[in-house]
Chain A
Amino acid sequence: MITAHLPALQVVVPLVAAPVCVLLRRSRGAWMVAMAVSLFAVAGAWSLLAGVLSRGPTSYLLGSWAAPWGIEYRVDETNAWVILVVSVISAAALLFARRSVEREVETDRIHLFYTAWLLCLAGLLGMAVTADAFNVFVFLEISSLSSYVLVSLGARRQALAAAFRYLVLGTVGATFFLIGVGLLYQVTGTLNMADLAARLSELGPHRTVTTAFGFLAVGIAVKSAVYPLHTWLPNAYAFAPSAVSVFLAGTATKVSLYLLLRFLFTVFGLEFVAGGPVPLLLALTGIAGLVAASVAAVRQEDAKRLLGFSSVAQIGYLVLGVSLLTTAGVAAALIHLFNHALMKAALFVCLGAIAYRVGSVRIADLAGIGRRMPWTASALVVGGLSLIGVPLTAGFVGKWYLVAAALESGWWPAAAAMLLASLIAVAYVWKLVESAYFRAPSPAAASVREAPVSMVAAAWGLAGANLWFGIDASLPIDVANRAAAALLGG
């Protein structure tokens, strides 16, 4: 019985657990609830993915109302994959979060911190699982509002400014999205994605639909921090509590990019998208983001901010993959989406562990960490290598497929930009490694010990996953290929 309800349970369980955390008022209890929910979500996501791979897409009717009128949840290869990524990153980030949050967030707010975490998780999973365009907006707001709260709980005062900026831009993005959905509803009278797709293809060229597409694309681009609409991201990641940086870097922009795929290919369809200027615009923003954000990352003095800019650059890779509009390009983007979540989460966990011991993540203060915190620093190196895309790491697999897909479509400039950005990535990862291993310990770092076991476990769990999926990438490649074929074929 429980498997039939899994699509809904992915959203319902975190949604029920969030108020339970408020009522508990215990920081440790709230953490345990959040962890249990995340592990349940991982198990559920795995079961959904296995079900989709063996039996095809499943759908769930909320309140038993039939599909075009009621809200439908629909799980296919693409969103089962995204749900798995989100729930795995949430569980790994929570393993790291317990000690880190005790240090960084006021004690009487910790249970509320985990409440916001669970709401954010419910929102992200809901955005992925729902097949109703307006329901996407509702979950987008749930996840966004709770992530503004999470960012604002950062220990430094700049966290409030960063959260406010994120709030203003995020609200603009969500409003654009809503305007787009409203225009589509005005033209077609439906909100169900499959029904929208059917009616839009009957409609033919239509100015309102084009306008709706513009609003939707820009709104989603703001939420997924596509260059040059990324300005909220570096500060939000830099000043958020360490655990929140891990969680958001691995999930929030990924789910927004999933929305981009869903609206481009499922709702509007390949024919509509390929006919307009969209592929070219996506490619140009992708290339610009790759190069500009990578260069900006090299110039950062704060390691978390550096990773924030690197995230913007990695989103450039994903957008570039999508812009090819080929099965190979979309599959490569889905592979890299998973890999980027793994590598960025690993890197942010390492920086969080360093922040826990040293009290700072300025690159100058990382000096000598390699000797004082060998496990954390080595995980940092693995994550960094994966970010560059060195063979035998997950990052290599994703970039290999992206470059191959670009060459297959004959987009030499795109492939060149990806290789250039990888070279720049060597420069900014080297800044971290050099400081950690080749400098005398700074006064702040001279007396520190290795991070707590739970943090090292989270760091090496994620770093190990980077190595594992660098050596045996059959799972992500298989799922991504099938998902891309379904998206572009159907």
Chain B
Amino acid sequence: MRHHHVLHVVAKMTIPLILVFALYVQFHGDFGPGGGFQAGVIFAAGLILYGLVFGADRLRRAVPAGLAGTLAAAGVLLYAGVGVAGMLLGGAFLDYGVLLPDPMAGQHLGILLIEFGVGVTVAAVMVSLFYCFTA
């Protein structure tokens, strides 16, 4: 792909937009269509596009395989951790209402954190899969 200038230029222009759009889908998910899974896939698609166009080795330098594995686990831990926090604060597992004094704000914070955990794990797993196929 070294000599495909058009691809290089277009990819450089679109990758930042893809990543920002992923963050929009992530954090706007509780008001509109979207959420952690979709956002994670879009974010990873941006990274994988970078890997395809500029070489998997350069992507590996930006996102080391070990980091991807760690993030995949960290996302699940964030999800489960929010659930357990609800238990420790006197509610049921995944009861967001008790996370903050105001139940409405608690629900909001809870779903935001949960979906962020999902997004991180999905993106990290997608990138790890890409590494498996390009190893």
B-binding residues in A (CB < 8 A): 5, 8, 12, 15-16, 18-20, 22-23, 60-64
Q: What 1/0 flags go to B81-92 for Cβ under 8 Å of A?
A: 101101100011
A and B contact pairs by CB, cutoff 8 A, 21 listed: A5-B93, A8-B92, A8-B93, A15-B76, A16-B77, A16-B80, A18-B76, A19-B72, A19-B76, A19-B77, A20-B77, A22-B69, A22-B70, A22-B72, A22-B73, A63-B86, A63-B92, A63-B94, A63-B95, A63-B96, A64-B97
B75 to chain A, nearest CB (A): 8
B72 to chain A, nearest CB (A): 7
The interface residues of chain A lying within 8 Å CB-to-CB of B92 are 5, 8, 60-64
Residue contact B87 to A8, C-beta cutoff 8 Å? yes
**Any A CB within 8 A of the CB of B11:** no
B12 to chain A, nearest CB (A): 33
B122 to chain A, nearest CB (A): 14
B125 to chain A, nearest CB (A): 11
The number of residues on chain B lying at the interface, defined by a beta carbon within 8 Å of a beta carbon of chain A, is 20
Task: Tell which of B80, B91, B96 touches A12, judged by Cβ atoms closer than 8 Å.
Answer: B80
Query: Which one of A5, A16, A63 has the greatest number of beta carbons of chain B within 10 Å?
Result: A63
Residue contact B91 to A64, C-beta cutoff 8 Å? yes
**Any A CB within 8 A of the CB of B65:** no
Task: Tell which of B84, B86, B95 touches A16, judged by Cβ atoms closer than 8 Å.
Answer: B84
Main secondary structure, interface of A, reads helix
Q: What's the Cα separation between A19 and B117 when bound, in Å?
A: 12
Task: Tell which of A12, A18, A23 touches B93, judged by Cβ atoms closer than 8 Å.
Answer: A12
Given contact pairs A16-B80, A19-B74, A63-B96, a sample of 8 additional A-B residue pairs in the complex whose CB atoms are under 8 Å apart? A5-B87, A12-B80, A19-B72, A19-B80, A20-B73, A62-B94, A63-B95, A64-B95
The interface residues of chain B lying within 8 Å CB-to-CB of A19 are 72-74, 76-77, 80
The interface residues of chain A lying within 8 Å CB-to-CB of B95 are 63-64
Residue on B with the closest CB to A21?
B73
A265 to chain B, nearest CB (A): 28
Q: What's the Cα separation between A438 and B86 when bound, in Å?
A: 61
A181 to chain B, nearest CB (A): 20
Residue contact B84 to A12, C-beta cutoff 8 Å? yes
Q: What's the Cα separation between A5 and B89 when bound, in Å?
A: 13
The interface residues of chain B lying within 8 Å CB-to-CB of A12 are 80, 83-84, 93
The interface residues of chain B lying within 8 Å CB-to-CB of A61 are 92
Which B22-45 residues have C-beta < 8 A from chain A?
none
The interface residues of chain B lying within 8 Å CB-to-CB of A62 are 92-94
The interface residues of chain A lying within 8 Å CB-to-CB of B76 are 15, 18-19
Q: What's the Cα separation between A16 and B80 when bound, in Å?
A: 6
The interface residues of chain A lying within 8 Å CB-to-CB of B69 are 22
Residue on A with the closest CB to B83?
A12
Q: What's the Cα separation between A62 and B84 when bound, in Å?
A: 11
Q: What 1/0 flags go to B54-84 for Cβ under 8 Å of A?
A: 0000000000000001101110110011011
When A and B form their complex, which 10 residue pairs have the shortest distance between CB atoms, in order from nearest? Answer: A19-B73, A22-B73, A63-B94, A8-B93, A19-B76, A64-B95, A16-B80, A64-B92, A19-B77, A63-B95
Q: What's the Cα separation between A20 and B81 when bound, in Å?
A: 12
Q: What's the Cα separation between A20 and B72 when bound, in Å?
A: 11
B69 to chain A, nearest CB (A): 6
The interface residues of chain A lying within 8 Å CB-to-CB of B81 are 16
Residue on A with the closest CB to B107?
A63
Q: What's the Cα separation between A61 and B97 when bound, in Å?
A: 14
The interface residues of chain A lying within 8 Å CB-to-CB of B80 are 12, 15-16, 19
B115 to chain A, nearest CB (A): 14
The interface residues of chain A lying within 8 Å CB-to-CB of B73 are 19-20, 22-23
Residue contact B72 to A63, C-beta cutoff 8 Å? no
Residue on A with the closest CB to B75?
A19
B23 to chain A, nearest CB (A): 23
Which B91-107 residues have C-beta < 8 A from chain A?
91-97
Q: What's the Cα separation between A19 and B77 when bound, in Å?
A: 6
Q: What's the Cα separation between A61 and B83 when bound, in Å?
A: 13
Q: What's the Cα separation between A343 and B14 when bound, in Å?
A: 60
Q: What's the Cα separation between A23 and B77 when bound, in Å?
A: 10
A396 to chain B, nearest CB (A): 42
Query: Which one of B69, B77, B91 has the greatest number of beta carbons of chain A within 10 Å?
Result: B77
Residue on A with the closest CB to B70?
A23
Q: What's the Cα separation between A15 and B73 when bound, in Å?
A: 11
B123 to chain A, nearest CB (A): 15
The interface residues of chain A lying within 8 Å CB-to-CB of B77 are 16, 19-20, 23
The interface residues of chain A lying within 8 Å CB-to-CB of B84 are 12, 16
A130 to chain B, nearest CB (A): 12
A17 to chain B, nearest CB (A): 9
Residue on A with the closest CB to B97?
A64
The interface residues of chain B lying within 8 Å CB-to-CB of A22 are 69-70, 72-73
Q: What's the Cα separation between A60 and B80 when bound, in Å?
A: 17
B71 to chain A, nearest CB (A): 10
B37 to chain A, nearest CB (A): 13
The interface residues of chain A lying within 8 Å CB-to-CB of B96 are 63
Q: What's the Cα separation between A23 and B72 when bound, in Å?
A: 10
Query: Which one of A15, A19, A20 has the greatest number of beta carbons of chain B within 10 Å?
Result: A19
The interface residues of chain A lying within 8 Å CB-to-CB of B72 are 19, 22
Q: What's the Cα separation between A5 and B73 when bound, in Å?
A: 24
B29 to chain A, nearest CB (A): 17
The interface residues of chain B lying within 8 Å CB-to-CB of A23 are 70, 73-74, 77
